[in-house]
Amino acid sequence: MVKKYKPGIVVIGGGQAGIHAIEEIRKSDGKIRIYLIDHDKHLFYFRAALKYFVKKQIELPNLNARMDNFIKKSNVTFFQDEVKNIDRDHQFVYTENSLEIPYTKLLIATGGIPFIPPSLRKDVDGIFPMHSLEDTLNICEKADSGIYKKIVILGAGVLGTELAESLIERGVSVSILTRGYVLVPKMLDTKSSAIVVKKYQKLGMDIQFNESISEIHTDESGQLTAITNSKNEKIECDCLCVCTGIRRNIQLAQECNLETDNGIKVNQFLQTSDPNIFAAGDVVEYYIPELKTHKLIDLWGPAGKMGKIAGNNMTRDHITYNLGTFHAYTIFAGLNCHVIGEFNPKNPSEYEILETEYLVRDQVCLFRLILQDNLIKGVFSLGEARHPMILEKIITLKKQIPSNITKSMLLERGFDFERILYYQEH
Ligand SMILES: Cc1cc2nc3c(=O)[nH]c(=O)nc-3n(C[C@H](O)[C@H](O)[C@H](O)COP(=O)(O)OP(=O)(O)OC[C@H]3O[C@@H](n4cnc5c(N)ncnc54)[C@H](O)[C@@H]3O)c2cc1C
């Protein structure tokens, strides 16, 4: 007989968005019934910190530090299970293990799923994406035991590039193959990519641009032994890690006829086309009223912020979600890289671009400001961080550059950007 549950708030997905939503719901209501359903073998871990685990900079327990107490403290009924179906008419979710949970409000926070090009969807040992803690544990265990001596990474986005660097630090030989001509095209351009490439090559990373995989080689047991690239060169390897992006995990939403495009469409309150169903995190395409368009984003910070706002809006007043000023940050082989605001404008001729290239302890650094109408609109910095948080605030608050500050001063290494942030007209 199927067990009967009382209606409550149901959260599908215990990642960054889902957990933040629950925390927010609990802030206002200690009693409301909450069900959390997630099918990952490991519950809520810092996905964005997996690279530090590969680099051996953090230990496994620190990856899911919050979770052990979270379920108890938040008084959440948790099921390790996969939601298979949402019945909007009767407000129920149905799971793989035959649970039937009625919801008053539902949050879909199912994140993304790694995209694997069809030509690589083969039953071969040693080909997998890098997405979960399980993938990470698998790759580290085999690297440490010497099963994976050489790894090929397909895709030079931020994920592939950071993984390549981390694996090299773990002592594995790595080749990275990309169709494009730059590393991390969402952050770097030709010039900055060349600086990062040089740094990585010094570490021993083999980087192949304008490349793809034309053939997969296996032994009799089905274990990967090599790949052939498009120049017909054979690269012996034990593992091919596919880092070619994610697709939004929208199947559940599509099947129950919620409005979707590449993600689940939500309004400013993170409400889907069904007012009782909210969505947050990587899975959504959120609405930007000023641009009258929907946008996808897959970053750790925004997923948490969306989760909080969805949690609030499911139980309390209606707060609007606003991404704020875009700001992404990473470190490429010791080189800090910040991209803020309109750091790479589509129509550069409409902006004034100031740039300085300089050496710090023999390392080439780049600093670029994108200006328009006496405002700083975007920032790119590589090599050293130059007041990124202050610059983010200046962009957000649309602070005019005072007339006593020249453009060359803005590029000086020691320039104090607080002079713009706190400038008062007399
Ligand atoms: C390896 C890696 C490194 C990253 N590094 C960075 C970084 O350095 N900086 C940064 O800003 N961002 C980074 N990101 C992106 C960031 O991790 C995501 O933006 C963030 O995790 C999104 O959170 P989410 O809660 O929306 O989704 P997720 O974290 O993907 O969580 C979704 C959860 O839903 C569960 N789920 C899905 N479908 C179902 C179902 N049907 N039933 C039950 N459960 C389900 C999944 O098991 C999963 O636990 C990285 C991503 C990856 C994969």
Q: How far is the CA of 283 from the centre of ligand 1 (A)?
A: 9
Q: Mutate which of 37, 86, 159, 300 to test ligand 1's pocket (most atoms within 8 Å of Cβ)? A: 300
Residue 192 Cα to ligand 1 middle (Å):
28
Asked if residue 3 is part of any domain, the answer here is no
Q: Whose CA is nearest to atom 30 of ligand 1?
A: 111
Residue 366 lies in a domain: yes
| pLDDT score recorded for residue 426 | 64
Distance from the alpha carbon of residue 40 to the mean position of ligand 1, in angstroms: 11
Nearest CA to ligand 1 atom 15: 299
List C-alpha distances in Å: 372 to 74, 189, 369: 47, 20, 10
Higher-pLDDT residue of 23, 294: 23
In three-state form (DSSP H/G/I as H, E/B as E, the rest C), the secondary structure along 283-305 is: HEEEEECCCCEEEECCCHHHHHH
Residue 45 makes CB contacts below 8 A (sequence gap 6+) with 63, 64, 67, 133
281 Cα to the center of ligand 1, angstroms: 8
Query: Looking at the structure, do residues 147 and 221 belong to the same domain, yes or no?
Result: yes
CA distance 231 to 229: 5
Statement to judge: residues 210 and 134 lie in one domain: yes
Q: Decide: helix, strand or coil at residue 326.
A: coil
Structure tokens at 390: 């202050």
Rounded Cα distance between 150 and 172, Å, is 6
* Judgement on whether residues 228 and 266 belong to the same structural domain of the protein: no
Q: What is the pLDDT of residue 90?
A: 97
Spacing, Cα 191 to ligand 1 middle (Å): 31
Q: What is the pLDDT of residue 1?
A: 72
Q: What is the mean pLDDT of residues 286-315?
A: 88
CA of 356 to the centre of ligand 1 (A): 36
176 and 149 both lie in a single domain: yes
Same domain flag for 101 and 134: no
pLDDT score of 126: 94
Does 388 map to a domain? Answer: yes
Q: Quick check: is 287 in a domain? A: yes
Report which protein residue has its CA nearest ligand 1's atom 4: 48
* Pair (108, 126) in one structural domain: no
227 contacts 150 by C-beta, under 8 angstroms: no
Q: Domain range holding 181?
A: 118-244
- Report how far ligand 1's centroid is from the alpha carbon of 260 (Å): 19
∠ CA 169-173-174, rounded to 5°: 90
Q: What is the mean pLDDT of residues 182-188?
A: 96
Give the residues across from 108 on adjacent strands: 12, 279
159 and 206: one domain? yes
Best of 35, 47, 282 for a ligand 1 pocket test (most atoms within 8 Å of beta carbon): 47
Q: pTM of the entire structure?
A: 0.93
Residues 220 and 125 in one domain: yes
Alpha-carbon torsion 282, 284, 285, 286, what sign?
negative
CA of 44 to the centre of ligand 1 (A): 9
Kindly tell me the sign of the dihedral angle through the C-alpha atoms of 292, 296, 302, 303: positive
- For residue 319 the two structure tokens come to 């707060």
Q: Is the pLDDT of residue 290 over 80?
A: no
The answer as to whether 133 is a domain residue is yes
Protein residue with its CA nearest to atom 31 in ligand 1: 15
- Pocket lined around ligand 1, Cβ cut-off 6 Å: 12-18, 37-40, 47-48, 50, 82-83, 109-112, 130-131, 159, 249, 252, 281-283, 298-301, 303
pLDDT of residue 317: 80
Task: Answer whether residue 330 shows pLDDT above 90.
Answer: yes
Residue range 382-402, pLDDT digits in tens: 999 999 999 999 999 999 999
Nearest CA to ligand 1 atom 50: 48
Ligand 1 pocket, mutate which of 282, 284, 327, 332 (most atoms under 8 A from CB)? 282
Residue nearest to atom 6 of ligand 1 (CA): 48
pLDDT in tens, 148-173: 999 999 999 999 999 999 999 999 99
pLDDT at residue 62 in the model: 86
pLDDT tens-digit readout, 51-77: 999 999 999 888 876 666 788 888 999
Q: Which of 406, 297, 293 is nearest to 279 (CA)?
A: 297
- Looking at the fold, whether 235 and 195 belong to one and the same domain comes out as yes
Is the distance from CB of 218 to CB of 120 less than 8 angstroms? no
Is position 2 within any domain?
Answer: no
Residue of the CA atom closest to atom 29 of ligand 1: 15
* Residue 29, pLDDT score: 85
Instruction: Say whether both 292 and 408 belong to one domain.
Output: no
CATH number, position 220: 3.50.50.60
pLDDT bucket at 123, cuts 50 / 70 / 90: confident
Reply yes or no on whether the pLDDT at 342 is more than 90: yes
CA 16–ligand 1 middle distance (angstroms): 7
Query: Of 196, 222, 244, at which residue does a domain stop?
Result: 244
Q: DSSP for 138-181, please give it.
A: HHHHHHHTTS-SEEEEE--SHHHHHHHHHHHHTT-EEEEE-SSS
Rounded to the nearest angstrom, the distance between the alpha carbon of 243 and the centre of ligand 1 is: 14
